[in-house]
Structure 1
Amino acid sequence: MSNETHTRRRFGRRPEQEVGPRATFRQLLPYIFEHKAVMIVVTVLSVIGAATNLAQPLLVSQVINVVQAGDTLGPLVWLLVGLVVVSAVISGYQHYLLQRTGEGVVLSSRRRLIGQMLRLPISEFDTRRTGDLVSRVGSDTTLLRAVLTQGLVEAVGGALTFVGALIAMLVIDPILLGLTLLVIAVSVVTVTLLSARIRVATQKAQTRVGDLAASVERAISSVRTVRASNATEREIAAVDEDAKGAWHMGVRVAKISALVVPVAGIAMQVSFLVVLGVGGFRVASGAITVANLVAFILFLFMMILPLGQAFGAVTSVNAALGALGRIQEIIDLPVEDQYDREIAPLAMTVGAANELVNPDAPALEFDDVHFAYALAPSDEADPADDGAGEHEPEPNPTERRPVLRGVSFSAPRGQRTALVGPSGAGKSTILALIERFYDPSLGEVRLGGLDIRTLERTALRSQIGYVEQDAPVLAGSLRDNLKLASPDASDEECVDVLHAVNLSEVLDRDPAGLDAPVGEDGVMLSGGERQRMAIARALLAAPPILLLDESTSSLDGVNEQKMRAAIDAVAENRTLIVIAHRLSTVVDSHQIVVLDHGQVIGVGTHSELVSSTPLYRDLAKHQLLV
């Protein structure tokens, strides 16, 4: 199997998916119009610069005529020098404004893209590669800068210069102008034919860069596993294959651009030679003067220069549109709550919902809930359930794998409900549905008797603390992690909650205290410390409902006892739903829900289930280590 095939299988990428939708020039305009005030200034400067440039050949012609007549130059030379200086100053300031505005376009596009990405449904992150998303924010947005810095706005002033030079050349000698336009027409046709190929090639190149970023992100994030598996060389080879793919596509863009770039130079050289040869003959015949020929040649240079800018603008705009297509692909995706108003037109805040809550209703209730993940044919695991989501499948809306099949149970207020069952039974999916990371295919999930889809998502999640199975820790400090869900918490509260989850030693071993760094993905903490940090973060927010996804799985016996004591203390008057990993976590629960193949096969206490449910009896016999 080739490396390329290996890469495609690894990421679920298919060849026909390598090129996304193309963007249009109209989609590019909003990014530019955000800076319309600066654009107006630059345009005015372009007009002034064009006027100063067009005046220079006329002055040169006058200087030649004065010299031929034997008169003194007088102020003509100083006026010519002044125009050159003014033109240079305008050009420099215009360049600065365009560079600054180009950076502004990149910033605004990145802010918009990041804001969109972080609001996408969780299902999008299940089916997309992290590195590719990062590449869109970094590499693709950078290409938008070229629209401004490589000729698009300057082409406005260039167009004026082009038209002005064209008129002046027409007045001086229509025959020379006709020959010049013939050469230019050929170059324009050539660039037009090549521009579409540049856009397609750029889009493919950016897609390859995204593939490379995804490969690098995958290899780095799993570097310990890779090393331990002696797979370093294989991973290097796989990443190298993606790097070669990006290089090949970059070379293809360079080849096409290499055909465009010389066109302006060739047009200028051929035009110059034609004008020089034919113009010299016409001077000799007395049709035009030497001064007029010199002025014509200067106007020719002025006409060719904006033509080159226009060619550069065509190239940069097509490259930017190729990248913008990948950006717009994300921008056009629906955000997580985009259709919430259609589901529940009067979505309620917690305060409004509290007035309608039935005090006799369970804290949480599942009523005949069905759910299935959309998966590609090559996917074999559940992307959000029980730790099986480390692969990154491509979406395939035509294929769905059922995970929950008619799940019904209730979690009483202020009590602890444990979910147990074999790996893949649907336990983590239940917690994901409570958090509304996904919505049920059928059935309802109710909070206090209310369908959670009638609540605003932010209001719902403010009532729930969620500790994930892999206990993610964000790069930053202890304080940054603790205050993620509680930005207004005091340092004293942060310290108290760390003591409550037995993380006092983390504070003591670094003089920076709460400012101590935790490293990328919490690498400076042990596995058990990362889990306790995640629990501390949830406890600090003090929500009425806590969801714990196998929160003690990485703890030793001593720390598990301390953790259980901390959870017991905070569980008073709170509803806990715990995915159990060990028998010690289960036996104290008020009720236990046994799941198998997405169905509830038993509900009761530990002693009841031991006698009534064979699967639970078997799991208890093996200490629930599944």
Structure 2
Amino acid sequence: MSTPSPAPAARRGRRNRPDPDGPRATFRQLLPFLFEHKKVLVVVAVLSVLGAGATLVQPLLVGQVISRVQEGLDLGILIWLLIGFVVVSSVISGYQHYLLQRTGTAVVYSSRRKLIARILHLPVSEFDARRTGDLVSRVGTDTTLLYAVLTQGLADAVGNALILVGALLAMLFIDPLLLGLILLVIGGSVVVVVLLSGRIRTASTQQQIKVGELASGVERAVGSIRTVRAAGATDREVASVTRMASEAYDVGVRIAKVSALVVPVAGIAMQLSLLTVLGVGGFRVAAGAISIAQLVTFVMFLFLLIAPLATTFGAITSVNQALGALGRIQEVLDLPTEDAGDGVPRERVGTDAVAVADTVPAIAFRDVRFRYPDAVIAAREKAAAEARSLLEEAHVEPRVSDGAPEPEPAREVLRGVSFAVPRGARVALVGPSGAGKSTILSLIERFYDPTDGSILVDGVDVRDIARTDLRARFGYVEQDAPTLAGTIADNLRLASPEASDADCERVLREVNLGDVLERNELGIDAPVGEDGVMLSGGERQRLAIARAILAAPPVLLLDESTSSLDGVNEQRMREAIDAVARGRTLLVIAHRLSTVVDSDLIVVLERGRVVGTGTHAELVESTPLYRELARHQLLV
């Protein structure tokens, strides 16, 4: 089958890179979030119509009351009707407010649910190119702004529109001249607010970006607090995060300044309108053009006209802020998931273990080349630049490496790698840092796809196998052995949710973690703390291996699985792995050659190329790099 070229990957990386001016959203993109609750919104609209009718009747009744008083007539039931409509209008408004608040909360929940589902299904490359805190900010802060769309005037726009139209018609009927003067004043204020709204939207988007950067900075500092404290860098981190908070504050002040202009514009429009009505209206009453009752009615309709306009002005501000946040939400929702374009299920391409001949390698690399996407490279370069900046501020010289060449982010990580992992064999990947060993496991797991060449599992290209089916064949233990916050059982059952307590305890003892069970009366329900802080580094590593063993996959992928263990526990771990590896394929990355000297096959990598394959004895004779590594570790 054909393989993707580097060019499209590069284009995808550029496309996914965040827009420096911030992502933009349109009102049309907001509608799907609202239409999910269309039944409630229809009820709100009906209530708005009823409330608008009850509100518009009140000035007319007041006018009738004034006229009857002037004429000395009995008020009859007019007062009771007026009181009734006031009560009905208030009750409708209260219930409508409840529905809007509830629906606003539901919109936030819906957007968060979609965003969480999308984020957790994104390709690994997106996590490498983006900062965790920024993604968390989109789920928390950005989605909250959608709440204002419903609660600040947008959803009851139907009622406001009816009140606006009804008030205009009534005012036109009472005195067209006064209405014309008022429309001139209000029209000018509307133009000003519309012009200001564009600036609010742009500034709001920038603010959300700054808040995302702030969240990333806090997440980085808190997540590495022990390292920061040990390095004496607390004050520098405080200064760095504070600088991000200051930038977010500056943008917030700009929004406040622009938004503050909207308030006086609305106030000036109302004051001028009222003064115009009282001045010109009083003159027209004196001239006999209209009556006092008509003037009072007109003034009441003026207030009814101003109220929807004020609400509309507020809605324009809140909607523009929400659209700025929605742009960042939509940016993530528009990203393709990892499963987009996934391969067909394994059963349809003949990769069942029972149907594959023993002579077919469990895993095979054929001239594989790989280069990280441009967006990932840019993110790593940015992180490196920030680290250098902090060192410069602290007047600390960058640490000189032990002679290893400086990595080049833009170069190919793998350059024509070819090797095979026989079924049921133990294969080790060794080589200096930066040789591409961990990248090989990432490609097998399909966190990334190769730039060129092919990777076969049971004779089938991994791009033709659905990721869920592919990963079900592997037990993968990462180099850092991350531990999830929760209990020991939570971590063990991550890949085996149906495992019994007895099975969990069995695998823990197999990896020499029995003492962890005994030191806490809760046993496997004992908490491990944030990032496994209540466990030692070696215990976290053994817990990760136990998790992989519990899933009982046909292939184990171990990345530096014994790097944090002492000599005694390393030997016990090797014995445990020996026991579970029987009948399974094992691919191991190791810097300690002593842990892999008895492997069936050792693949030596250097700068993304295979420079030797064979057993320990064969490589000592044939491969200078391996011989040098073995000499440094006193194995020859």
TM-score by length of 2: 0.91
1:394-431 Cα shifts (integer Å, max 9, x gaps): xxxxx842011111111111111010000000000010
| Contact map agreement 1:359 1:448 (CA 8 A) in 2 | no
Q: Please report how far the alpha carbon of residue 75 of structure 1 lies from its aligned counterpart in structure 2 after TM superposition.
A: 1.3
| Contact map agreement 2:214 2:245 (CA 8 A) in 1 | yes
| Contact map agreement 1:382 1:424 (CA 8 A) in 2 | no
* Corresponding residue pairs, total: 597
Separation of aligned partners in 2, 1:53 and 1:269: 22
The 1:157/1:359 distance shift into structure 2, 3 A limit, reads same
- Residue in 1 that maps onto 2:62: 60
Q: Please report how far the alpha carbon of residue 382 of structure 1 lies from its aligned counterpart in structure 2 after TM superposition.
A: 9.9
| Contact map agreement 2:377 2:410 (CA 8 A) in 1 | no
Q: Please report how far the alpha carbon of residue 448 of structure 1 lies from its aligned counterpart in structure 2 after TM superposition.
A: 1.0
Q: Please report how far the alpha carbon of residue 377 of structure 1 lies from its aligned counterpart in structure 2 after TM superposition.
A: 11
Q: Please report how far the alpha carbon of residue 349 of structure 1 lies from its aligned counterpart in structure 2 after TM superposition.
A: 4.0
SS at match of 1:546: strand
1:365-384 alignment, distance < 5 Å? 365-375=364-374
- Residue in 2 that maps onto 1:313: 315
| Contact map agreement 1:582 1:624 (CA 8 A) in 2 | no
1:615 is matched by which residue type in structure 2? L
Separation of aligned partners in 2, 1:349 and 1:298: 74
- Residue in 1 that maps onto 2:587: 577
Separation of aligned partners in 1, 2:509 and 2:422: 29
Q: Please report how far the alpha carbon of residue 358 of structure 1 lies from its aligned counterpart in structure 2 after TM superposition.
A: 3.7
| Contact map agreement 2:413 2:607 (CA 8 A) in 1 | yes
1:177 to 2:187 alignment: no
- Residue in 2 that maps onto 1:462: 472
The 1:351/1:391 distance shift into structure 2, 3 A limit, reads farther
Q: Please report how far the alpha carbon of residue 17 of structure 1 lies from its aligned counterpart in structure 2 after TM superposition.
A: 4.5
The 1:560/1:335 distance shift into structure 2, 3 A limit, reads same
1:172-221 Cα shifts (integer Å, max 9, x gaps): 11111111111110111001111111110000010010110111111111
1:348-405 Cα shifts (integer Å, max 9, x gaps): 348952276343201111111111113479869799xxxx99989xxxxxx8420111
- Residue in 1 that maps onto 2:222: 220
1:86-136 Cα shifts (integer Å, max 9, x gaps): 111111111111111111111111111111111111111111111111111
Identity among equivalent positions (%) equals 67
Root-mean-square deviation (Å): 2.1
Separation of aligned partners in 2, 1:359 and 1:563: 28
Separation of aligned partners in 2, 1:195 and 1:209: 21
SS at match of 1:402: coil
1:154 is matched by which residue type in structure 2? D
SS at match of 2:455: strand
| Contact map agreement 1:473 1:521 (CA 8 A) in 2 | yes
Which of residues 291, 302, 310 is equivalent to 1:300? 302
The 1:376/1:299 distance shift into structure 2, 3 A limit, reads closer
Which of residues 148, 153, 156 is equivalent to 1:154? 156
- Residue in 2 that maps onto 1:424: 434
- Residue in 2 that maps onto 1:348: 346
Which of residues 521, 524, 536 is equivalent to 1:514? 524
Separation of aligned partners in 1, 2:177 and 2:499: 81
Which of residues 19, 28, 31 is equivalent to 2:30? 28
1:132 is matched by which residue type in structure 2? D
Which of residues 522, 528, 543 is equivalent to 2:538? 528
Q: Please report how far the alpha carbon of residue 39 of structure 1 lies from its aligned counterpart in structure 2 after TM superposition.
A: 0.4
| Contact map agreement 1:478 1:517 (CA 8 A) in 2 | yes
The 1:23/1:352 distance shift into structure 2, 3 A limit, reads same
Separation of aligned partners in 2, 1:562 and 1:73: 98
Q: Please report how far the alpha carbon of residue 467 of structure 1 lies from its aligned counterpart in structure 2 after TM superposition.
A: 0.2
1:55 is matched by which residue type in structure 2? V
The 1:375/1:401 distance shift into structure 2, 3 A limit, reads farther
| Contact map agreement 1:482 1:540 (CA 8 A) in 2 | yes
1:494 to 2:494 alignment: no
1:19-54 Cα shifts (integer Å, max 9, x gaps): 222111111100000000000000000000000000
Q: Please report how far the alpha carbon of residue 18 of structure 1 lies from its aligned counterpart in structure 2 after TM superposition.
A: 3.3
The 1:22/1:624 distance shift into structure 2, 3 A limit, reads farther
- Residue in 1 that maps onto 2:51: 49
1:590 to 2:590 alignment: no
The 1:364/1:93 distance shift into structure 2, 3 A limit, reads same
1:265 is matched by which residue type in structure 2? G
Separation of aligned partners in 2, 1:583 and 1:602: 15
Separation of aligned partners in 2, 1:521 and 1:377: 24
1:95 to 2:97 alignment: yes
Q: Please report how far the alpha carbon of residue 289 of structure 1 lies from its aligned counterpart in structure 2 after TM superposition.
A: 0.8
The 1:381/1:260 distance shift into structure 2, 3 A limit, reads closer
Separation of aligned partners in 1, 2:500 and 2:485: 20
1:481 to 2:491 alignment: yes
- Residue in 1 that maps onto 2:331: 329
SS at match of 2:574: helix
The 1:421/1:118 distance shift into structure 2, 3 A limit, reads same
1:581-617 Cα shifts (integer Å, max 9, x gaps): 2122111211111111111111111111111111111
- Residue in 1 that maps onto 2:361: 362
| Contact map agreement 2:129 2:376 (CA 8 A) in 1 | no
The 1:224/1:248 distance shift into structure 2, 3 A limit, reads same
Separation of aligned partners in 2, 1:413 and 1:106: 50
SS at match of 1:568: helix
1:67-216 alignment, distance < 5 Å? 67-216=69-218
1:538 to 2:548 alignment: yes
SS at match of 2:475: strand
- Residue in 2 that maps onto 1:241: 243
| Contact map agreement 2:129 2:375 (CA 8 A) in 1 | no
2:285 is matched by which residue type in structure 1? V
1:446-457 alignment, distance < 5 Å? 446-457=456-467
| Contact map agreement 1:19 1:207 (CA 8 A) in 2 | no
Separation of aligned partners in 2, 1:381 and 1:77: 74
Separation of aligned partners in 2, 1:459 and 1:334: 20
Q: Please report how far the alpha carbon of residue 72 of structure 1 lies from its aligned counterpart in structure 2 after TM superposition.
A: 2.5
SS at match of 1:287: coil
- Residue in 2 that maps onto 1:286: 288
The 1:352/1:56 distance shift into structure 2, 3 A limit, reads farther
Which of residues 610, 613, 620 is equivalent to 2:623? 613
Which of residues 409, 423, 433 is equivalent to 1:413? 423
| Contact map agreement 1:370 1:405 (CA 8 A) in 2 | yes
Q: Please report how far the alpha carbon of residue 263 of structure 1 lies from its aligned counterpart in structure 2 after TM superposition.
A: 2.0
Range 297-306 or range 68-77, more displaced: 68-77
Which of residues 395, 403, 406 is equivalent to 2:413? 403
The 1:542/1:382 distance shift into structure 2, 3 A limit, reads farther
| Contact map agreement 2:129 2:377 (CA 8 A) in 1 | no
SS at match of 1:370: strand
Q: Please report how far the alpha carbon of residue 507 of structure 1 lies from its aligned counterpart in structure 2 after TM superposition.
A: 1.4
Q: Please report how far the alpha carbon of residue 339 of structure 1 lies from its aligned counterpart in structure 2 after TM superposition.
A: 2.7
- Residue in 1 that maps onto 2:278: 276
- Residue in 2 that maps onto 1:250: 252
SS at match of 2:367: strand
Separation of aligned partners in 2, 1:414 and 1:520: 37
1:255-304 Cα shifts (integer Å, max 9, x gaps): 11111122222211110111011111111111111111110000000000
TM-score by length of 1: 0.92
2:161 is matched by which residue type in structure 1? A
The 1:390/1:212 distance shift into structure 2, 3 A limit, reads closer
| Contact map agreement 1:581 1:624 (CA 8 A) in 2 | no
Separation of aligned partners in 2, 1:404 and 1:235: 36
The 1:381/1:148 distance shift into structure 2, 3 A limit, reads closer
Which of residues 442, 446, 450 is equivalent to 1:440? 450
| Contact map agreement 1:475 1:518 (CA 8 A) in 2 | yes
1:40-85 Cα shifts (integer Å, max 9, x gaps): 0000000000000000000101111111122222211111111111
The 1:391/1:133 distance shift into structure 2, 3 A limit, reads farther
SS at match of 2:242: helix
| Contact map agreement 2:40 2:99 (CA 8 A) in 1 | yes
Separation of aligned partners in 2, 1:448 and 1:440: 17
Q: Please report how far the alpha carbon of residue 161 of structure 1 lies from its aligned counterpart in structure 2 after TM superposition.
A: 0.1
Structure 1's unaligned 5+ residue stretches are 1-14, 393-398
